[in-house]
């Protein structure tokens, strides 16, 4: 099955999309308990799960390696972390929720009063039952996160404070999957894998990207070569860029996927160029799904690394609920219940539709340009006249009207205000009838 047929089957309901949404949510359920950070066993365990059904290759970069202006830090792992009262009851327990520990906390074993402990505690007073997510990647420190209601119930102590962690030379790990196409030109999809138990940010992006990769891998042929990168945020993409100078000239389209499972509409953030091919394809798909198109800004996720002026790669970002724009962001409330299978499915479909546009957007030449060709004698027009033209007929007429050899299907879709998939199908019918010739 071609990508176009797969997309059409899902859109028409001929293929059960509900099962796909549930499968993606189930993968998130397996990944949710894992404690991830920018390095460590949690990243490797996450890649192990993803590699069970996709040929994701693990790449490693040793601690101390320079990547442009950054240095790969020591690897961080944690066995246990807690704050216990005088009776040994754990009031804050890493094993109950891994957000309780500030990521990259250094080892600690101490007895402290609440006053001594308080500078190392993080809460959300305006959300008293939620646990915040905090990190200390590049500054040696330690801390705990907890519900503000729990903090208010604590007396002066003393408390046993334990962070059983290690910070020692190791490696930064990321995953990569390359699906060769008929062209060596590449479409790159990137998802960050450094966050611990946060469902929308970014287990949703990971699960959707994996499912899209599986779909593309199942196709008998592809126009482009597709590269999927599963890497820790910021440092991971910078490290990948530092090691793949030979790949960068082949990148034609790029997309960072994150926050794809929340309840909001689809939101596409343009590349720094603003009018790149991925920007046009994404704008077509997202706008027709009732989503929002935004301009580029240098703040966000890894799109800001790929778009950096030294690389100037055409990378956009696809989200449902962008970072910082929903109360649950970076808190324990971003759990599995915040993300539903239908939300994941829509994100998956939108991403596939973008790939469909990239794969099938071509320029055609009308081989019968002197007036409208007779479609009826070729079986392309209803036998009964006098009725309003069908969508299929209108799509063919639009394609014939603009196929001058320099106008692409996506250009025509923009002018006509119609769906790309309909024009793609019309072009295929017209080409089969000898009325169109595709660009070489």
* Binding residue positions for Zn(2+): 195, 201, 330
Sign of the CA dihedral 385, 390, 394, 397?
negative
SS3 category, 432:
helix
- What local confidence, expressed as pLDDT, does residue 147 receive? 98
What integer pLDDT is reported at residue 386 of this predicted model? 45
Whole-number percent of the chain with pLDDT over 70: 98
Burial annotation 252-282 (CB, 10 A radius, 16+ → b, else e): bbbbbbbbbbbebebbbbbbbbeebbbbbbb
Assign a CATH topology to domain 363-438.
Arc Repressor Mutant, subunit A (1.10.10)
Residue span(s) of the chain under CATH 3.50.30.90 come to: 76-168
Considering only CA atoms, which of 302, 314, 319 is closest in space to residue 267?
A: 319
Among the listed residues 257, 226, 238, the one whose alpha carbon sits nearest the alpha carbon of residue 174: 238
Q: Where in the chain is the domain with CATH 3.40.630.10?
A: 3-72+171-360
Query: How many C-beta atoms lie closer than 10 Å to residue 409's C-beta?
Result: 25
Residue 256 · residue 317 · CB < 8 Å: yes
| Contact yes or no for 15/9 (Cβ under 8 A) | yes
pTM of the model: 0.95
Ranges under pLDDT 70 in the chain: 1, 14, 383-389
Residue the block writes with tokens 């990168």: 229
- Residue spans in the chain of domains classed CATH 1.10.10.10: 363-438
Q: What is the pLDDT of residue 31?
A: 98
- Given a contact cutoff of 8 angstroms between Cβ atoms, the answer to whether 314 and 177 are in contact is no
CATH of domain 76-168: 3.50.30.90
| Fold of the 3-72+171-360 domain | Aminopeptidase (3.40.630)
Specify binding-site residues.
195, 201, 330
């Amino acid at each position: 099955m071609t990508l176009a047929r797969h997309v059409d089957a899902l859109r028409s309901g001929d293929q059960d999309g509900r099962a796909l949404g549930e499968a993606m949510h189930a993968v998130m359920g397996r990944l949710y308990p894992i404690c991830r950070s920018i390095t460590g066993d949690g990243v490797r365990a996450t890649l192990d799960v993803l590699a069970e059904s996709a040929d994701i290759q693990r790449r490693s970069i040793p601690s101390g390696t320079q990547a442009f202006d950054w240095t790969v830090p020591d690897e961080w792992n944690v066995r246990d972390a807690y704050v216990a009262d005088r009776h040994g009851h754990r009031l804050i327990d890493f094993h109950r929720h891994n957000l309780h520990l500030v990521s990259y906390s250094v080892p600690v074993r101490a007895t402290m009063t609440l006053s001594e402990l308080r500078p190392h505690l993080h809460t959300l007073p305006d959300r008293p039952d939620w646990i915040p997510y905090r990190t200390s990647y590049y500054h040696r420190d330690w801390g705990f996160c907890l519900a503000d209601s729990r903090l208010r119930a604590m007396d002066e102590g003393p408390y046993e404070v334990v962070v059983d962690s290690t910070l020692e030379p190791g490696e930064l790990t990321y995953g990569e999957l390359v699906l060769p196409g008929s062209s060596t030109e590449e479409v790159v999809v990137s998802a960050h894998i450094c966050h611990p138990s946060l469902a929308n940010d970014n287990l949703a992006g990971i699960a959707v990207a994996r499912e899209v990769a599986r779909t593309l891998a199942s196709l008998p042929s592809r126009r482009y070569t597709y590269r999927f990168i599963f890497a820790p945020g910021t440092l991971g993409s910078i490290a990948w860029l530092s090691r793949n100078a030979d790949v960068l000239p082949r990148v034609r389209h790029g997309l960072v996927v994150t926050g794809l499972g929340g309840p909001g509409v689809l939101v596409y953030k343009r590349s720094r160029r603003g009018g790149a091919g991925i920007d046009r394809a994404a704008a077509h798909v997202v706008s027709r799904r009732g989503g929002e198109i935004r301009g580029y800004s240098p703040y966000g996720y890894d799109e800001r690394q790929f778009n950096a002026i030294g690389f100037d790669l055409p990378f956009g970002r696809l989200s449902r609920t962008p970072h910082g724009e929903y109360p649950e962001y970076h808190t324990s409330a971003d759990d599995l219940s915040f993300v539903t299978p239908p939300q994941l499915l829509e994100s998956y479909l939108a991403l596939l539709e973008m790939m469909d546009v990239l794969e099938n957007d071509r320029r055609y030449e009308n081989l019968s340009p002197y007036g409208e060709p007779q479609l009826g004698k070729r079986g392309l027009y209803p036998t009964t006249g006098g009725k309003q033209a069908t969508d299929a007929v209108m799509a063919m007429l639009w394609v014939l009207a603009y196929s001058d050899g320099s106008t692409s299907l996506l250009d025509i879709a923009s002018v006509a205000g119609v769906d790309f998939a309909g024009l793609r199908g019309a072009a295929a019918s017209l080409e089969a009838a000898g009325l169109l010739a595709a660009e070489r």
